[in-house]
């Protein structure tokens, strides 16, 4: 038993299982009292604030595979659940193939925080403000989830069910995030609007990704995912479709940004009003899509000049 001298962090029992089976069994047997954790940067804050009061905290960081980051040029990137954000940023594979994810991680708080915080913890916490969720969704991420029954794979686009709510069941542990290979020529941008530059959650977050697709009428497809403006990260599907269906121009980008703003359902809270957020979604979506479009064009010109 760990006795805490901190006046506001409740006491808990620290459990460090040796195998996934042991961890899943423990979490199943103590369904009401136990919680898995990785970096703990959400769990401990919520315990201190009295939102959570688990009797047992199950440290899953040392389970097999949890610390691995592995790139397969045929299939994609696997990020073990316990890989912290600084390692994701530093990995050559992320920088080369998924720079949008590295940018999203870089927007999270401080270097110190990121040396604990994990992308998978960000996902499992399921806050609509989670900064890395947009990039993981844009890359069609899949969560590998383990339980006593074996492994199941869940598309992230199906995973989030509300603030703090996911499809995770009792006794299940997220073991890794898998990101398929990005489409050739993909370019992305993450814009985070917070009350300050450091250590604030987003008032609005806009993730945009674009790539050439000869099958689309415009010749391109875009992904646009919004943070902090709905109960879950919001995929602005109509805005995405709008830019695939017609030539990409300043006017069609403005139209897509308007559709994104219409799709979101923000709330008023301490960080900003719903009205302000809706307006910022429009402005920042237009800015993010324009920036992606410029990057796509620059890349296209470079390809031509290097032929």
Ligand X SMILES: Cc1cc2nc3c(=O)[nH]c(=O)nc-3n(C[C@H](O)[C@H](O)[C@H](O)COP(=O)(O)OP(=O)(O)OC[C@H]3O[C@@H](n4cnc5c(N)ncnc54)[C@H](O)[C@@H]3O)c2cc1C
Which positions touch ligand X (CB under 6 A)? 35-43, 45, 60, 81, 108-109, 113, 116-118, 120-122, 124-125, 129-131, 168, 173-174, 199, 201
Work out how close the CB of 243 gets to ligand X at its nearest, in angstroms, rounded to a whole number. Answer: 26
CA distances 11 to 43, 114, 176, 190, Å, are: 13, 25, 29, 39
Cβ-contact 56, 15 below 8 angstroms:
yes
Cβ-based nearer residue to ligand X, 135 or 239: 135
Cβ-based nearer residue to ligand X, 108 or 204: 108
Nearest Cα to Cα of residue 144 among 134, 156, 132: 156
Work out how close the CB of 194 gets to ligand X at its nearest, in angstroms, rounded to a whole number. Answer: 7
Work out how close the CB of 296 gets to ligand X at its nearest, in angstroms, rounded to a whole number. Answer: 27
Cβ-based nearer residue to ligand X, 37 or 160: 37
Work out how close the CB of 74 gets to ligand X at its nearest, in angstroms, rounded to a whole number. Answer: 26
Work out how close the CB of 9 gets to ligand X at its nearest, in angstroms, rounded to a whole number. Answer: 13
Q: Which residue is nearest to ligand X (CB)?
A: 121
Cβ-contact 132, 139 below 8 angstroms:
no
Angle 291-178-299 from CA coordinates, rounded to 5°: 25
Question: How many angstroms separate the CA atoms of 8 and 288, rounded?
Answer: 41
Looking at residue 231, what DSSP letter applies? S
Cβ-based nearer residue to ligand X, 166 or 187: 166
Task: Give the list of residues 6+ apart from residue 185 with CB closer than 8 angstroms, or none.
Answer: 211, 212, 296, 299
Cβ-based nearer residue to ligand X, 80 or 210: 80
């Amino acid at each position: 038993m760990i006795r805490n001298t901190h006046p506001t962090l409740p006491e808990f029992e620290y459990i460090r299982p040796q195998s996934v089976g042991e961890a899943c069994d423990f979490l199943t047997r103590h369904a009401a009292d136990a919680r898995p954790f990785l970096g703990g940067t959400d769990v401990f804050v919520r315990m201190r604030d009295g939102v959570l009061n688990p009797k047992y905290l199950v440290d899953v960081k040392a389970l097999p595979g949890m610390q691995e980051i592995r790139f397969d040029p045929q299939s994609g990137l696997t990020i073990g659940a316990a890989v912290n954000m600084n390692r994701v940023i530093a990995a050559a594979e992320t920088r080369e193939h998924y720079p949008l994810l590295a940018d999203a991680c870089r927007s999270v708080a401080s270097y110190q925080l990121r040396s604990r915080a994990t992308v998978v913890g960000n996902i499992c916490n399921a806050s609509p403000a989670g900064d890395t969720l947009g990039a993981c969704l844009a890359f069609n991420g899949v969560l590998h989830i383990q339980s006593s029954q074996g492994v199941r794979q869940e598309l992230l686009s199906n995973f989030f069910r509300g603030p703090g709510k996911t499809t995770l069941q009792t006794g299940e542990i997220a073991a890794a995030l898998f990101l398929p290979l990005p489409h050739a020529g993909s370019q992305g941008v993450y814009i985070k609007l917070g009350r300050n530059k450091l250590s604030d959650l987003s008032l609005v977050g806009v993730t945009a990704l674009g790539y050439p697709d000869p099958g689309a009428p415009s010749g391109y497809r875009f992904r646009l995912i919004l943070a902090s403006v709905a109960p879950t990260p919001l995929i602005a599907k109509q805005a995405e479709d709008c830019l695939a269906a017609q030539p990409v121009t300043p006017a069609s980008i403005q139209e897509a940004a308007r559709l994104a703003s219409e799709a979101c359902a923000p709330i008023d809270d301490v960080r900003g009003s719903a009205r302000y957020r809706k307006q910022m979604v429009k402005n920042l979506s237009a800015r993010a899509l324009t920036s992606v479009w410029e990057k796509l064009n620059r890349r296209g010109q470079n390809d031509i000049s290097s032929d």
